[in-house]
Chain A
Amino acid sequence: MDQAARQEMPQVTPRRVWAFHGGLHLPDHKRESTGRPVRPAELPARLWLPLQQHIGEPAQPVVSVGDTVRKGQLLARPKGAISAGIHAPTSGTVVAIGPHAIPHPSGLRADCIELASDGRDAWAELPEPWPDFEARDPVELRERVRWAGIVGLGGAAFPSSVKLSPKADLPVHTLVLNGAECEPYITCDDMLMREHADRVIEGARILRHVVGARAVLVGIEDNKPEAIGAMQQAIAASGDARIAVVVVPTKYPSGGERQLIRVLTGAEVPSNGIPAQIGIVCQNVATAAAVADAVVRGRPLISRIVTLTGEGIAQPCNLEVLIGTPARDLIAQAGGYTPRVAKLILGGPMMGFALPHDDVPITKAANCLLAPSRAESPTPPAPLPCIRCGRCAEACPVELLPQQMYWWARAKDLDKTQDYNLFDCIECGCCAHVCPSHIPLVQYYRYAKTEAWAKEQEKRKAEQARQRHEMRVARLERLESERKAKLRKKKEELETPPADAPAEDPKKAAIQAALERAAAKKAALAAQGVAPRNTGELTPAQQRQVEAADARRQATAPAARDDED
């Protein structure tokens, strides 16, 4: 494999990139938050760690209220295959485990571990650092990634160890590192690559080793020349020629997993499929850095870089933030709100969701706190009727027909929306952005998807209930027939008069009969002069035992043996 890799290698000439359909050229607003280097946020007094910060099952707490914990100690362990553990971001005391506001579009509360920091930030004992990761077995490394609670840091928060688990029938040839960061305003990956390119490349090499890929392609949009330069330098410093930076044109949403894979390789991930089906695994650059920390330094994922930006924030910046830090603390450290603040968005302006308030903790998936002014994020005008202009279809990166899906979603015809491939929609918002009638198209698709899921679930529930009902009916029938059979038997027994033989216990009679049979047999054998033997087929070992026993017997009571059983 190494040879094949070496042949593929040197990428001096610029690589070809492919285009994807549609997309938008948006003002990127990156410069506002890249002026200052990333600085660590202040140690918060209280942290709230939601038990579910990832796709899949929520983690299970392994600490109880009152426990003192140290930085990096496991607080909640993953439950099930698709789950991720949570570690203490700092040392302190667990003061509560219960519902607290979490970053969620509907302002939901969910179970969190509340940690009061003791200010000492003292580390727990950490697992052994493995700088020699290339000598390690991928299985070990994967376990380390799972231990570290690493999830996709690009925003989806899918547990990384799952993506790294090999499927025998799906060999991986290329690892794609996503450094596109296509959404306007967000710069946390850009800053990470500028300042910690070595960690990203280290992570890339570990991930490449784990998935067994021949090549690593790092996709970065051309509006981040500093990051591109730093990454190229880090690759040169690592001497690993299997890794190449590919500069991709700036076009939203080139950072979508499927779009980036298309741009870098020209291949399309099948609808409903995963990249591994075409031999590709895609990870975010920040995820790669977290993997490097876990493997090379033995540190779990307890912090991430968060962009604070928008005209509503006094000093836009990037902060290195402990997971669980309240957003409010961070905004205060970025100089607080300006009077122009109109909204608070977690994530970018295209796909992020608006927070009702800032009393929510930063989770592993939180890449950006955007506080736009009214000018930056105007309240959309009232929607007008669709004029079927088709701009939405032009902009759709998945080549859907957004206006048809809109008509069917509005008509609540869920089957029809699925005929138009509703579930291929990535909710990037391009269609709504270009719509001259300002129809909130994405909202309609979310509605239709949720309705379809609910319907599906209802169907499943109904099916389950039907099965349960059928089984219950069958069970009742069986019990009833058993009861009837018993009754009938009893009745028959009562009805038949006792046997003419004097009431003798049938058991005793049987024993008597058996004894008589045995005696008769013995007599017959004795008449032939043969003693009964049970030594028909013996193994040589058994045979030797028998012989030894016979010898002993003969030695002790030779006379008595001959005529007795």
Chain B
Amino acid sequence: MRFPTLTSPHLTGPNSTTRVMAEVLLALVPGIAALVWYFGWGVVINIVLASLAAVAAEAAVLRLRGHPVQPAITDLSALVTAWLFAVSIPPTLPWWLTVIGVLFAIVIVKQLYGGIGYNPFNPAMAAYVLLLVSYPVQMTAWLPPTLLADHVLSFQDSLALIFLGTPPAGLAMDAITQATPLDVMRQKLDLNQMISEIRQSPLWGDFGGRGWEWVGNWFLLGGLYLLARRVITWHIPVSMLGAMLVAAGLFWLADPETHPFPAFHLFSGGAILGAFFIATDPVTACTTRKGQLIFGGLIGLLVFAIRSWGGYPDAVAFSVLLLNIAAPTIDHYTQPRVFGHAKGRKHDR
């Protein structure tokens, strides 16, 4: 009798890339549901559009590269990129901008660098930044949360707006859209208004913008699920949010009228989504434990710095991309001590 001779180990663990990606998609669902609840059908349309574009782009590039298409599609990584991108963009973004963003993410940022596992930058965030700097008007035109909106867009309205660019009859585009709370806070602070003044507006909830803060909570729930399922570890989210809160807290203590309450930072913009779903992207983040703490911490500080003094209202995408570049270097200098090696000597050099 002849037996196959494969090398050890002869047991294969239950983990797989597909499972990891599926868990991430599942964890995004509560946050997406909240987005749909507060911002309407446009979110769903964006997700579907982005998913189709991402899978098609991935398949096309792999075919061009002469690589097997099937494993790359079934690993669901293109869908994760598509969903993360789709939840970051305004719900009424014209369809061609969404498609351009996804194509840039998949074709240029991911596949041209070698495909899954080889991209130095987070594809969704790179695409977001591309659109933000190229089409700032469209990219900052968010809908108000439905509970504040004068006119709630129906599914048909959203379709027409996204694909044809025609707002519902009798309404101008400006009447439908609104700046995000982060944007509002910034603009008003620039006009030397006091925070107590600014917060008079019905736009504000307990911590961040109304609606927005609840979206943050639901994304947080998904993030905790990822932690519980050991898809991610606590290091990056905790260090990122922790550093942001500490920095925001110090400035708030110094002057609460010009620096918003720390929880405002936590529950605004992409902070929670970024901390649990974007900065933790294993391909582009640090891999050593110490490195992850530094990586997360620096992202948190950068987010606070750019939000407070930078040119853009939100900063998660910029901060993540900046630290993506630094990740290999951080990893290099934060190697753990190997078992049996003297303390303080990282490796023989």
Contacts and interface: CB of A to CB of B under 8 A. Distances in A.
Contact of A442 (B9, B12, B16): B9
Contacts of B285: 388
A446 B9 CA distance: 12
A437 B115 CA distance: 14
Interface in B1-60: 1-13, 15-17, 19-20
Interface stretch (B253-261, B268-276, B336-344): B336-344
Contact of A435 (B13, B71, B338, B341): B13
A327 to B, nearest CB: 11
B23 to A, nearest CB: 11
A372 B10 contact: yes
Contacts of B347: 419-421
Interface stretch (A126-134, A426-434, A455-463): A426-434
B155 to A, nearest CB: 36
B12 A378 contact: yes
A429 B8 contact: yes
B1 A357 contact: yes
A303 B98 CA distance: 72
Contacts of B335: 401, 420
A442 B8 contact: yes
Interface string A240-275: 000000000000000000100010000011111100
B132 to A, nearest CB: 26
A530 interface: no
If over half of B's interface residues share one DSSP class (helix, strand or loop), that class is named, otherwise mixed; here it is loop
A128 B86 CA distance: 83
A383 to B, nearest CB: 10
A271 B116 contact: no
B75 interface: yes
Given A424-B338, A424-B340, A434 B15 contact: yes
Given A344-B3, A420-B347, A436-B20, A398 B8 contact: no
Contact of B338 (A342, A347, A400, A437): A400
Given A382-B71, A399-B337, A420-B347, A432 B282 contact: no
A387 B115 CA distance: 10
> Is the interface on chain A under 10, 10 to 19, 20 to 34, or 35 or more residues?
35 or more
B305 interface: no
A403 B15 CA distance: 16
Contacts of B338: 271, 398-400, 421, 424
A356 B2 contact: yes
A475 to B, nearest CB: 39
Nearest to A27: B11
A343 B4 contact: yes
Interface stretch (A150-158, A389-397, A482-490, A553-561): A389-397
Contact of B6 (A20, A379, A387): A379
B180 interface: no
B288 interface: yes
A564 B159 CA distance: 146
Contacts of B6: 343, 354, 379-380
Interface residues of B, number: 44
Interface in B270-315: 282-283, 285, 287-288
Nearest to B3: A344
B205 interface: no
Nearest to B341: A271
B49 to A, nearest CB: 26
Contacts of A433: 9, 11-13
Nearest to A271: B340
A156 B71 CA distance: 39
Nearest to A354: B5
B10 A349 contact: yes
Interface in B91-117: 114-117
B197 interface: no
If over half of A's interface residues share one DSSP class (helix, strand or loop), that class is named, otherwise mixed; here it is loop
Contact of B118 (A272, A385, A427): A385
Given A270-B340, A354-B4, A436-B16, A377 B10 contact: yes
A184 B11 contact: yes
B10 A401 contact: no
A254 B344 CA distance: 26
Nearest to B74: A384
A400 B16 CA distance: 22
B283 A388 contact: yes
B206 interface: no
A345 B9 contact: no
B339 A258 contact: yes
Given A398-B340, A424-B338, A351 B9 contact: yes
A436 B340 contact: no
Contacts of A382: 71
A212 interface: no
Nearest to A420: B347
B174 interface: no
B13 A434 contact: yes
Nearest to A434: B13
A267 to B, nearest CB: 10
B135 to A, nearest CB: 31
Interface in B131-181: none
B10 A343 contact: yes
Given A343-B3, A357-B2, A436-B17, A352 B10 contact: yes
A353 B4 CA distance: 11
Residue from B2, B4, B19, B340 with most neighbouring chain A CB atoms (10 Å): B340
B100 to A, nearest CB: 26
A443 interface: yes
A390 B282 contact: yes
A543 B337 CA distance: 79
Nearest to B4: A343
A440 B11 CA distance: 11
A353 B7 contact: yes
A107 interface: yes
B348 interface: yes
B11 A337 contact: no
A394 B15 CA distance: 14
Given A434-B13, A434-B15, A435-B15, A442 B336 contact: no
Contact of A387 (B8, B9, B117): B117
A355 interface: yes
Residue from A376, A384, A421 with most neighbouring chain B CB atoms (10 Å): A384
Residue from B17, B116, B338, B339 with most neighbouring chain A CB atoms (10 Å): B339
A411 to B, nearest CB: 13
A387 B2 contact: no
Contact of A352 (B8, B12, B19, B283): B8
A86 B16 CA distance: 47
A399 B2 contact: no
A106 B7 CA distance: 10
A139 interface: no
A229 interface: no
A381 interface: yes
Interface string B67-84: 000010001010000000
A384 B337 CA distance: 29
B3 A357 contact: yes
Contacts of A438: 12, 16
A282 B339 CA distance: 18
Nearest to B114: A385
A21 B339 contact: yes
Contacts of A271: 338-341
16 contacts: A26-B11, A105-B5, A353-B8, A379-B4, A381-B12, A384-B116, A389-B282, A393-B288, A394-B233, A397-B339, A399-B339, A400-B338, A419-B347, A420-B347, A434-B15, A442-B7
Given A271-B341, A379-B6, A433-B13, 7 more contacts: A273-B340, A350-B8, A353-B7, A379-B4, A394-B233, A435-B13, A438-B12
